Structure 1
């Protein structure tokens, strides 16, 4: 009986037994292969400084987002957010210390404390998935004080149109969930509560075919304020935290396209425009949407460039200065060919 090494074996020390012709081969006992190592689930990192922004990286071919959002902190830290799917929506709190997202393992909404690494599951789950922000779904939104979270689930109707369910507000301290009635399109949070908008056709405003009614609901669902504006001032409108001022993009449709004329600030006590701010943006770039207020003196806007590339700016409402946010996504392929949203979530934009 000859024992020789087997070329191309499955591991070191592997041998094969060759017996003479006519002899019964001896009994051989197979050694079980070691079980493959199972990677431990990733843990959420702890970030010493607030998160500036998060983005969804692209796969190698640039055709779709890959798993996990990437967090970028003010202190230079950068890391993945485990348990997320970059195809789903993510929101950061305005102070950059928490993230709200869907946990891919069980379709439950969770809030992660990015300072401590703690993750808290909320008593809200999806019912059959979501169409995603790209197709009109509402992302979770933190209240300005971080105590509450807006969640609005969605589904497709029989005509495959996106239908948003009634919004709900989650108290992040107690976990209590309050369902709101159908209150129109969600706009954002003020210090008094959640602002929503409904539009209608009108003949009462000369020169305007539509008007928009804004309602502010407290976290307990009670109406805290109302405001009506002409339809042309409702596009991308955003109420300041104090509710004293409404910021709106002024735009005009011309034969050459849509032209931006600045940001109109409306006094909510009178309903009349008070002044217009002209953002000092780079040549060829114009604001396309007001994303939120940052305090009472600035707004965060999304802008579009000559080749439709997206950027983000913070506009000082006193001076018009509009520095661009330093957002770097070196591992995103073909960025100009990919939708700008929902690829970026903004956190704390100013130190």
Structure 2
């Protein structure tokens, strides 16, 4: 666990204690906040073998429901469930799109590893950290499997002398050979396409009327070579997620209203022209809105995170031809809702279709 989490825990305890004592000027008896005991999730001595792909993984809640306890828990399509040894559920985890492998930072030696969830084999990669990571909540980049599962994006991070977060240059690891390709400073990692890893760099611009910024996208082949480039206006680049082919990006359109921020739909943008192709209105249950596009499911559907009337989180697959939305069976009741860490960061999706 990074020192950021230790500092946050101390800050949380201080705030909670101040609230219990009361406003200045009052002299009630001093009461001390006692953390509730953690209920660890039992994990097998070794990595289990799963007969069916993993649907999702979650950070299990403690007795008080606020912090995670023990390792990540895997849930398969066949109903199997088990802890993932060597992980801390407050750390980052990624599952391959087919739900058969997991990539994570092993807690014992701060080495990145890939686990084959069918055989139980764990392969250490030639990439290590020193001093941990600040975590996804504070801007760390989680490992990302390529669409074919042959490569893994890893981007290390550290704190500088002013305790500012620094993301180091990304690297692409060949999971077959272990070869590591270091990319130059590339801005923000966006995601994988079939041609390679897509990154984005934003800049201010005066060339696009009505837009204060634009974003330059670059696709890097697994060998670290430039495989494509395109530019989008800033409003279409925010949280843009590329399709597998790289020909289209999807982003959530929003509008600020007197009652809050309203979601207008999913904007699909043609990367060859830099212009919106069409907007899809997801047919979600009443009171529920799409919050973020997490990834594509083929070229005809996207996986989105949604929120309900009471800000409860769920996940849906949206058909881009019809707007029909299918809710994924992710049980949020067991997921830790950590201090300053939204519950959605405690869920990692694997294979979304059986």
Residue 129 of structure 1: aligned partner: 132
Residue 320 of structure 2: aligned partner: 317
Structure 1, unpaired ranges of 5+: 1-38
**CA distance change for structure 1 residues 334 and 154 in 2, over 3 Å: closer, same or farther?**
closer
Answer yes or no: is 1:236 the counterpart of 2:239: yes
- The Cα shift of 1:329 comes to 4.3
Contact 1:60 1:333 in 2 (8 A): no
Residue 290 of structure 2: aligned partner: 287
Residue 179 of structure 1: aligned partner: 182
- The Cα shift of 1:301 comes to 0.8
Contact 2:43 2:83 in 1 (8 A): no
Map 1:1-351; keep pairs closer than 5 Å. Answer: 42-332=45-335, 339-351=342-354
Contact 2:266 2:279 in 1 (8 A): yes
Deviations 1:210-236 (A, max 9, x none): 111111000111111111111111121
- The Cα shift of 1:201 comes to 1.1
Contact 2:188 2:199 in 1 (8 A): yes
Deviations 1:168-220 (A, max 9, x none): 11000000111111101001000000001111111111111111111100011
Deviations 1:12-40 (A, max 9, x none): xxxxxxxxxxxxxxxxxxxxxxxxxxx99
Contact 2:192 2:198 in 1 (8 A): yes
Residue 28 of structure 1: aligned partner: none
Contact 1:212 1:231 in 2 (8 A): yes
**CA distance change for structure 1 residues 333 and 158 in 2, over 3 Å: closer, same or farther?**
closer
- The Cα shift of 1:342 comes to 2.1
- How many Å separate the matches in 1 of 2:253 and 2:333? 34
Contact 1:284 1:306 in 2 (8 A): yes
What is the root-mean-square deviation in Å for CA atoms of aligned residues? 1.8
Q: Secondary structure at the match of 2:137?
A: helix
Deviations 1:264-298 (A, max 9, x none): 11122222211110001112221111111111011
Contact 1:286 1:305 in 2 (8 A): yes
Contact 1:216 1:226 in 2 (8 A): yes
- The Cα shift of 1:251 comes to 1.2
- How many Å separate the matches in 2 of 1:117 and 1:131? 28
Structure 2, unpaired ranges of 5+: 1-41
**CA distance change for structure 1 residues 169 and 78 in 2, over 3 Å: closer, same or farther?**
same
Displacement over 3 Å in runs of 4+: 329-338
**Larger-Rg structure:** 1
- The Cα shift of 1:62 comes to 2.1
Q: Secondary structure at the match of 1:134?
A: helix
- How many Å separate the matches in 2 of 1:184 and 1:85? 28
Contact 1:133 1:341 in 2 (8 A): no
Structure having the larger proportion of residues in helix? 2
**CA distance change for structure 1 residues 283 and 43 in 2, over 3 Å: closer, same or farther?**
same
Contact 2:335 2:346 in 1 (8 A): no
Matched residue pairs, number?
Answer: 313
